[in-house]
Amino acid sequence: MALTTEQRIRRAAIKLFADKGFHGTGIRDLAQAAKISSASLYHYMGTKEDLLADVMRECLARLLRAARGLTGEDPRDRLAGLVALHVLTHATQPAETRVVDHEVHVLSPTVRRRIVSLRDEYELLWTETISDGIRAGVFQDAEPVVTRLALLDMCNGVTRWYSPRGPLSLEQLATHYARLALRMLGGPENDFSFPVQRAREVVSTVWKRTL
C-alpha cells in the first residue's frame, strides 16, 4: 500500500509546485521530498517541465472526466453540478488545483498549447451549459462569455482559502457556490435539484487513485 517511487515524485511535485511555485522549487527539493537522489528523478521523468506538464495533464483529465460524468437534462442542474464539482475539487485538492491554475505561464509554448486545449475542452462544457440555459430561457445574461469567465474565476479562488477546519462543510460550500452561480445567471437561486452529495462522490471517485 506504500506509494511507488513514481507516485512519491508526483506527490512531491504537486506539493512543492503548489507551495513554492515551479521556479521556486528546485530539482533537489523534489528529490528530497520524494526520498530519492536527484539523479534518480530522471529515471521517472523527462525534464522538470515535463513533470509539471504531466501533473497538470493528469489533473485536468480527471476534472474533465468528472465533469463529463455529470448528467442532467436541465441546464440549471448541469450548471449547479459543474460548479459543485469545480468547487469541491478545488476545496479537496488544493495543491493540485493551485498548480493547474497558477503555473500555466511557465510552460513553453508547445507544451502550454496542449494543456490549454485540455482546459478549453473542459470550459466548453460550461459554455454549452450556459448557452443551453439561455436558449431554454432559464438563464438571463447579456454577456454569457464574460459570465462564464467570472464564474470560473470565482470558483477557482476557493483553492486559496478553503479549509475543512473552517466554518463551512464541503456540502455547504458547494451549495452556496451553486446558488451564487444561479443568481449570477439570473435564475432563482434554489431552482436546482442537483444533489450536491452526488458531486462529492464523483470527485471522491475521480481522485481515489493516487496521482
Partner DNA sequence: AATGAATGAGAGTTCATTCAT
Partner DNA sequence: GATGAATGAACTCTCATTCAT
**Which x/- pattern, by CB under 8 A, does the window 18-57 give for a copy of itself?**
-xxxxxx---------------------------------
Q: Quick one: cell of 182?
A: 444561479
Q: Which of residues 163-182 bind a copy of itself (CB under 8 A)?
A: 167-168, 172-173, 176-177, 180
Going by C-alpha positions, the residue among 62, 60, 48 that lies closest to residue 17 is 48
**Which x/- pattern, by CB under 7 A, does the window 22-61 give for DNA?**
---xxxxx------xxxxxxxxx--xxx------------
Q: What Rg, from alpha-carbon coordinates, does the chain have?
A: 18
The answer to whether 191 contacts a copy of itself (rule: CB under 8 A) is no
Specify the residue, 40 or 117, whose C-beta has the smaller distance to DNA.
40
CA distance 89 to 91: 5
Instruction: Give me the half-sphere count of Cα atoms (radius 13 Å) on the Cβ side of residue 114.
Output: 13
CA distance 167 to 198: 22
Going by C-alpha positions, the residue among 194, 4, 185, 10 that lies closest to residue 88 is 194
Q: Provide the terminal-to-terminal Cα distance of the chain, rounded to the nearest Å.
A: 14
Going by C-alpha positions, the residue among 113, 165, 134, 144 that lies closest to residue 173 is 165
Q: What, of DNA, a copy of itself, none, does residue 7 touch, CB below 5 to 8 Å by kind?
A: none
The answer to whether 5 contacts DNA (rule: CB under 7 A) is yes
Q: Which of 150, 169, 197, 210 is close enough to bind a copy of itself by CB under 8 A?
A: 150
The answer to whether 111 contacts DNA (rule: CB under 7 A) is no
Q: What are the residues binding a copy of itself (CB under 8 A)?
A: 19-24, 102, 105-106, 142-143, 145-147, 149-154, 156-158, 160-161, 167-168, 172-173, 176-177, 180, 183-184, 186, 189
